Amino acid sequence: MTLEHAGPDAPGCQARTALEMLSRGTDRLGTASQAELVFTDKACSQDVRCVWHGMTILLRAGELESADEHLWRLEHDRRGWWDDHVTLMRAEHAMHAGDLVGSRAALARLTATALPESLRDLALPCYLEVLVAVNEAELANQVLRQHDFDLLQRKWPTLYPLLLAVRGWLHLISGRTEQAYRDLRKCSRLPATEVAATYSVARRRGVLALAAAATGEHEVALAAATQEYEVAKAWRSHAHLAWGLYVLEMIEDSDQPSDRFRDAIDLLELARSPSGIATVCYEQGKRLLASGEHSKGRAHLLRAEKSARRIGDAVLTEKIEKLLCELTNSEQRTPLTMQELRIAELTQNGYSNKQIADRLVLTVRTVEFHLSNVYRKLEIPGRRALAAEILPSRLN
């Protein structure tokens, strides 16, 4: 490292300029071009902090191929003291490229053995990000308990927004919604220039919206989700736009198939994001099943399952397998007649037997007879169990 260069704090530093452009969030391609200068600038290219900033900004901009080329050159450089720094950058690239299994393995090692030891502190939130992304809440909580969060905050003040964002996200998937809301609310108010390119900080408004919705803070949820989507539109990244659409849809708590989800899936295909595809296809698949569109629902769930397996998300894979198994079982039962299906649907929608009889011009006794057949064919005890059943589509 040259003595004349003081990293991102140096006057005229290419990495600092790229960080400032990123914080404005309105020129993705221009910011990526500025980040490229880090790797050709004589001073920046010799400073590991500048190189890390340049790399994370390229990843944030979706320039995965360019980032991969720079990583290849760094991996074949003989600066041995950079080895673990480059491994960390490669792990972050793997996460953005959808190789969460590889990223997770590399980061697990770095949190334990990286040199210099200060690099372990940076690897920790990155490792937690990957664990949270694949729903490994139990392991992530265990890792978090093994480290002194307050000490990390004092040692690395610039990392504080990242630490809060990751911990808040972990609280959310662990069901600790109030704690998630507090962490993410605090995180959203902090300047985060030094870590603005990281995965969790870039999405902190959206995660705040989900946490706020879960705690009943609906005005905060709507404001944060709207801001996230507006930021995504200004940045114009496929993956970020898809995330913005997903958050807007999720805070509405609807059970109907969604055009936002459909558009998000298309964007995630362009972004080549298996983790995003797994999540959004799962949510859309559930809604399609609930609305009776079983063929489309199955297709979405199978697509979600393939992506969930690829990224190593055992929790989501299990949920999808359970839904697919329930769907198969319902289709293999003795089929309901058209009249039985109509009555079962109305029962699920909260109609009483008398209301169903009036609507279909039947006697209450006839409705009771058909419901008895429904319960027998579906192998369920009664009305309450019917509410949770996936009924076959009348189109089928």
* Max intra-chain CA distance, the chain: 91
Q: Which residue has the tokens 């969604």?
A: 258
Q: 274-290 and 238-250 are packed helices; what angle lies between their axes, rounded to 10 degrees?
A: 30
Strand ranges, E, within the chain? none
Tens-digit pLDDT profile for the chain (396 aa)?
333 455 677 778 999 999 999 999 999 999 999 999 999 999 999 999 999 999 999 999 999 999 999 999 999 886 666 899 999 999 999 999 999 999 999 999 999 999 998 999 999 999 999 999 999 999 999 999 999 988 999 999 999 999 999 999 999 999 999 999 999 999 999 999 899 999 999 999 999 999 999 999 999 999 999 999 999 999 999 999 999 999 999 999 888 999 999 999 999 999 999 999 999 999 999 999 988 788 899 999 999 999 999 999 999 999 999 999 988 877 777 788 999 999 999 999 999 999 999 999 999 999 999 999 999 888 788 998 888 888 876 544
Q: Angle between the 83-97 and 64-75 helix axes, to the nearest 10 degrees?
A: 160
Q: What DSSP letter does each residue of 39-56 carry, written as one string?
A: TTSTTGGG-HHHHHHHHH
Amino acid present at 132: V
Opening angle at CA 76, ends 73 and 82, nearest 5: 90
**H/E run at residue 37:** helix 28-37
